[in-house]
Amino acid sequence: MSAFRLKSLSLRNFLTYEYESLDFVREGMIVFIGGNGTGKTSLFNALRFVLGSNQKDQRYKSWSEFINNRGNARSGWVEAVFEGDGESVKLRREVRRGEAPRFYVDGRRVSADEFKEIVRVKLGVDPDNPLVFVPQGRVDAVKEMEPVKLREFVEELVGLADERKTIDEKEGEFREALREADVLKEDVRMIQERVALLAPEVERWRRRKQLEEKLRRLEEEAVWSRIEEGKARLNELARAESEAAARMEEAYAAFREAAERVERMETERRVAKSRMDEIDKEVGKLREEEAELSAKIKEILRRREKSLEEVDKGKRELEKVERDIEDLRVKIRELENRKAVLEEERMRLTERREKLVEELNNISVEKEKFRGWETEWVAAKADFERAKEKAEASNKNRRMAEDELERVRRKISECARRVAELAEKLEGYDEETLRKRREELRKEKEELIAKRKDTEVKLRGWEEEALMLNKKVSSLEARVPEQVRRLEEEVKKRGMNVEGPLLKLVEVPDEYAEAVEAVLGKELLAFVAFNESDFYVLNELRKKYDAWCTIYLSKGLKTSTLRKIDGDGVVGWLEEVLKFPDEVGGVLRDITRRTLLVKEYRNALALSGKYKRLRFVTLRGDVVEERRGVLRSPYRKPRGLLAVKRLMEELEEAQKNRDLLERELKALDERLSEVRREEGKVEGAIMVLPHWKSLLSEKIRLEDEEKKLREEAEKAREEAEKAREELEKARAKLVEVESRKPKDYVELEEEERRVKDELVKLNQSMKKVEAEYGRAVKEREKALLRLKELEVFGESLSRSIEALMEIVTMGDKEASDATREIKGLEIKAKELLDEKRRLEELIEELLQTLGKEREKMREMGERLGDRRSEVERIRSEVRIVREEVEGLEREAERRGLRKPIKVRPLSEVKGEMAFLEEELAGLADVDEKVTREMEELEERRKHVAKKLGELEEELRGILEELERRKKDYIVKLVGVVEGVEKSVNELLAMVNMKCKLNVRGDYSDAGVEVKLSVKGGPMINVTSVSGGERCFFAIALIAALQKESRVPLVFLDEPSTHLDSENSDRTGRILKEVARERQVLVLVPDKYLEFAKHADQCYGTATKGVGGASIVIPVRIAG
């Protein structure tokens, strides 16, 4: 048993308790007995809470709900004292609204981790261990467990669950290794199948090598045949070149003279054009000056019109002022007459008031006879008035005090309500946590904003890419680069004899578009000139517009005879699938020469070995060609000029990327909105914290103020009651004095009252007359002041009208001057336009002459171009033939080829080669790869077989280890179950029961089978006995496991809920036995009083009234 035990437990404003303190003076079993809703489970939660557990019932969503709401408590706490080893440990855990729970050890605040360390290590208690705190329903769950679930329950509590998890992980490794072995076996089978398939291919490869050797010797002989034919061709071309060069020189001299004449005319035209531009500028300036003068005249006329309108307006105002002056003079005369009448009325009222005062004095003399009674009545009346005033003042003070008290109470209620609302918003947070969370949200927001900007940039890029591709797909014009389009427009504008780009001249079937684009590439943007002068100009324009496309000078229609090539997958020569104008045929044939169109890449590879010096292109745009004895397949990135299919794929990819980025942007916006909302919520909570604290202080201050106001209100009520009593006494005395009033005195009073009333009315009339007299005097003074103002304003208006008339006269003079200037500008503009007309006629004449000269020059240029083309063609052919002959000679020297005694014609050699190539073409699909693949397969088979052997050996080891571990686990499980069975039987013997626990099944489906014997009867399955007997077994099993695990403290919540009183008594005896070695606390309903007889210390739980706070009362159970 642990050295420490629970000594006391105290609660303050926790769950259903306002305050409770319990001292556990005895060791052993402590029982709390009470009805439903009296606070038993609150004690269970309180002890678990103070020991540091964070488990809560489902009905409590937050720590703030643990605080008792009666009395608007702001915090609650639980304190437990443990004693042992000559020392004590005081644990305290406190929860406050809107804050995380606080931890204290011996009065010192500590962190949660330190607190839990002290509880687990020093006190030896784990509050989260299911054997320490056994809640309601745990016993029912255990008694209904199937064998497998019961085995898992025992495993977890005795520490075998981790060992079983290790075995399961090892078994997973074994299954993974088995899968790997199956893969290796499948690999061996596939290798063997592939070796059987490759055997015929290897034999065909040997025959192909023999044919290639024969073909190589014939190719060496063909080299010398081509050298001899090339030298003969060179001699023929040398003679033709000298004749063509002489004709070209004559044409060039004539072309140069024509060019000089055109240049002189162009100079004259540029000078005239320059002068015309100067005239246009001068005329433009004159037009601007004329427009400025016209605008000035309009502005002068507008100001004149406005000034005349202001003159008319001023005259109308002047007439109105004169009428107002006359009206004021009449009004002043009327006010003076009214003043005289009011002075007469004031004198009449003064005389009448003097008479009434005299009458009032006479009545006073008469009343002197009754002075004694009057004095007494006046004193009583004064006492009554004073008492009345005092009573009214006291009542007023009382009402004010009560109103102020009610106001303060309303403010307290409102303040408490707002404090509670704000506390709910701050649930579970303190200021430090909120600020930390705000920083995290700000960082995340900044990252999201930066990521959103990047995504927007990428999205814009893909949208532009999709838009551009969409234009290219829908329009051929859009596929041509802007610089090339501008060059094309300039060519059309100049009327040059140029065609292009080739993209718009060539018709290509859709199925061949990718192949044609792969071969032609950027040549699809090329231009073709048909004479040398246009070729020269086109080159300069290309530099000007930065249009880096190829330009060709056409040499006329170039035809060639294409030999027929048959073979697997051959479509035909590339130039045969194209449709193009005849004038560009030579250029296109030069670009596509020796290019064969085939279906698939393997066809191109097979044919490249048979036909040297040819280029092959597949329908998908793959190119295969041989250069200097090296076979290569260059990568040609599609430009999207013809192959719309590629463009569509790129467009689809661009749209897919755009949609993906749009979804990503939408997700970022949603997350950014969530972060901003949470940030606003956290920011609001941070802002609420100071307000919540100030509200709490304000509530405390108001409660103090309420106490003072309550005392003041009570004092005001006492004073009001005392003043009321004094008022009643004064009223009684006044009534008694008035009952003795003399009759003559009454008549004098009535006469005096009548005179006073008349005097009051007279005074009111005099006040009215005085007031009316004062108003008349003020109105007269105001009228005189207004009269003077109007006279001054009239003089000012007259002067303004005269000044405006002077402005009108000056404006008329300025308009006349501007009109004269406009006429002068019109004369000068007319002279300049006449000169421009003469220059236009001169330019027109020059243009006509220049056109004729240019036409002559174009004809000369065409002749020169033809001559030059002929020379260039011959020279080009000479260069090609010479390079070919020299190359062949170098090749023969490099390869060490000996010249035959007799050089056969090339056609004879090629005929023999064609026969060999035909046989070799049948073996074109076999290459050296098959032999290498065969060797690699053999090596791979050996490697896989070795690896498979190693893996099978490893599998045997893992399987043996698994079997050993499973056996060890079953042995341990059986040992644990036997130990538990012994402990359970020791407890069940107290209620005349016995159990038998057997481990059934193998490792994978092992379960703990339970059999029970009741009152000496036979052993039967636990499912065949009554619910109460199964409940006994479950309680005994939990108790046995508690003994095995040696927990120092146990707290059970209503373990005997479904038992009758007799069985409840038996349960008490079982738990009494458990309490011999540990401290046991049990909660039982009040109907199980028999259970409490076994308690070492017993308490009862109850409530204060209906729905009041819970209380705990020490009780003693007889028995």
Q: Is residue 613 part of a domain?
A: yes
Q: What is the value of pTM for the model shown?
A: 0.38
Q: What is the CATH number of the domain that holds 553?
A: 3.30.70.1620
Ordered DSSP codes for 364-419: HHHHGGGHHHHHHHHHHHHHHHHHHHHHHHHHHHHHHHHHHHHHHHHHHHHHHHHH
Mean pLDDT computed over every residue of the chain: 78
More confident residue, 182 or 636: 182
User: What is the β-pairing status of strands 1110-1115 and 1097-1103?
Assistant: antiparallel
Q: Give the count of domains, the chain.
A: 1
Mention every residue, 6+ apart, whose C-beta is less than 8 A from residue 1054: 40, 136, 1083, 1084, 1085
pLDDT band per the 50, 70, 90 thresholds, residue 94: very high
Cis? peptide before 1048, omega within 30° of 0: no
Mention every residue, 6+ apart, whose C-beta is less than 8 A from residue 768: none
- Is residue 9 pLDDT above 90, yes or no? yes
Average pLDDT of 898-903?
Answer: 76
| Residue 1025 dihedral angles phi and psi, to the nearest 5° | -95, 175
- Is residue 1119 pLDDT above 60, yes or no? no
- Residue-level pLDDT at 103: 93
Q: Is residue 285 part of a domain?
A: no
Q: Is residue 622 part of a domain?
A: yes
Give residue-wise pLDDT tens across range 490-526: 888 888 888 888 878 888 887 788 888 888 888 888 9
pLDDT band per the 50, 70, 90 thresholds, residue 629: low
Domain of 514?
A: 489-640
- Residue-level pLDDT at 79: 95
- Is residue 154 pLDDT above 70, yes or no? yes
Residue type, 1067: T
Q: Is residue 70 part of a domain?
A: no
1064 burial (CB, 10 Å; 0-12 / 13-18 / 19+) is buried
Give residue-wise pLDDT tens across range 1042-1071: 777 777 888 888 876 666 667 777 778 878
Q: Is residue 550 part of a domain?
A: yes
- Across 202-211, 350-359, 949-958, the highest mean pLDDT is recorded for 949-958
- Is residue 93 pLDDT above 90, yes or no? yes
Considering only CA atoms, which of 345, 239, 195, 430 is closest in space to residue 762? 345
| 3-class DSSP state of 997 | strand
Q: Order of strands across the sheet with 1007-1014?
A: 993-1000, 1007-1014, 1020-1021
- Residue-level pLDDT at 652: 75
| Residue 258 dihedral angles phi and psi, to the nearest 5° | -65, -35
- Is residue 1 pLDDT above 50, yes or no? no
Mention every residue, 6+ apart, whose C-beta is less than 8 A from residue 900: 221, 224
| Residue 1106 dihedral angles phi and psi, to the nearest 5° | -80, 120
Q: Is residue 328 part of a domain?
A: no
Q: Is residue 534 part of a domain?
A: yes
- CB of 498 closer than 8 Å to CB of 534: yes
Give residue-wise pLDDT tens across range 902-933: 777 777 777 777 777 766 666 656 666 777 77
Q: Is residue 542 part of a domain?
A: yes
